[in-house]
Amino acid sequence: MKAITQSMLGMFLRCPQQFERRYLRGETIPPGIAARRGSATHKAAQINHEQKLHTKEDLPVGDLQDAARDHYVKQVKEEGVFIPKDRISEKEQLLTAGLEAAVRLTKLYRESLAPAIQPTLVEEQLSLDVGLDLPLQGTIDVLTEAHWLPDLKTADKSKSSGEADHSLQLTFYAGLVAHHTGKWPEKISLEILVNNKEPKLQSLPTTRGPEDWANLILRVHLLLAQIRAGLFPPCDPGSWVCSPSWCGYFWTCKYSLKWR
């Protein structure tokens, strides 16, 4: 491990046992269809933002949908996808539904969100030494000229407003931006492309500041201390993550309740 990323911290907080298998033992499991859908939509947005830095114009919706489609197909083919054992028989329908959703949500991004974003930083990798064993590192999707840090997500249902207020991911990225640019983002938000029958954009604005950052650093201290101690407890078996649908290690994890 050369740095602590937001994904590492997030997985450690969800389940330290899962963190150990993924990041210390190197047992990589491909992401599920929802993550592949999100990554395809994200790729289309990235392509749009990269060129918009210079042109100040959004690309046509069809070009972005093609980019999302190509990325989804390539990722599934080259890197695979995690499908829970009990849904293997539906694999083809699930993959097709994921692809259709990625294309539909990319259209929503282009029409509802893209016109409001004029990027100043796109896919910027930031690293920050916080005086611990490892630096913090993350790639900022996009920061706008108005110093707005929007975080694009896809989801099957709308989220509660607490989702943005409590997101450590937003704290992580907002803190990296604050240290890189010298000021906290003026606006921070989750921009959720909701895959309803009638897809809709849900914007959840929030704020971050030094107190949030100090709280996050406390958690990073704990992560590093546990790595040093070699202690990786399992999460609560009642947690949503501890199920065959959400944890790729479920069937080989000595702590999971496989008989339930």
Footprint of ligand SF4 (CB under 6 A): 15, 17-18, 234-235, 241-242, 247, 249-250, 253, 255-256
| Beta carbon nearer to ligand SF4, 4 or 242 | 242
- Give least dist CB 63 to ligand SF4, A: 39
Q: Which two tokens stand for residue 17?
A: 């046992």
Q: Which two tokens stand for residue 223?
A: 């992560």
| Beta carbon nearer to ligand SF4, 213 or 249 | 249
* 149 and 193 Cβ atoms separated by less than 8 Å: no
- Give least dist CB 23 to ligand SF4, A: 12
3-state secondary structure of 13: helix
- Give least dist CB 20 to ligand SF4, A: 8
| Beta carbon nearer to ligand SF4, 12 or 213 | 12
| Beta carbon nearer to ligand SF4, 29 or 116 | 29
* 141 and 79 Cβ atoms separated by less than 8 Å: no
Q: Which two tokens stand for residue 143?
A: 């920061």
Q: Which two tokens stand for residue 160?
A: 């509660």
3-state secondary structure of 151: strand
| Beta carbon nearer to ligand SF4, 15 or 64 | 15
* 113 and 191 Cβ atoms separated by less than 8 Å: yes
- Give least dist CB 109 to ligand SF4, A: 31
Helices (H), the chain: 6-14, 16-19, 33-55, 61-79, 91-108, 162-165, 168-181, 210-229
| Beta carbon nearer to ligand SF4, 119 or 248 | 248
- 193 Cβ neighbours under 8 A, 6+ residues apart: 41, 105, 108, 109, 113, 152, 153, 154, 155, 199, 201
- Give least dist CB 87 to ligand SF4, A: 17
- Give least dist CB 132 to ligand SF4, A: 25
Nearest to 135 by CA among 26, 12, 36, 8: 8
Task: Name the phi and psi angles at 69, rounded to 5.
Answer: -60, -50
- Give least dist CB 83 to ligand SF4, A: 16
| Beta carbon nearer to ligand SF4, 17 or 206 | 17
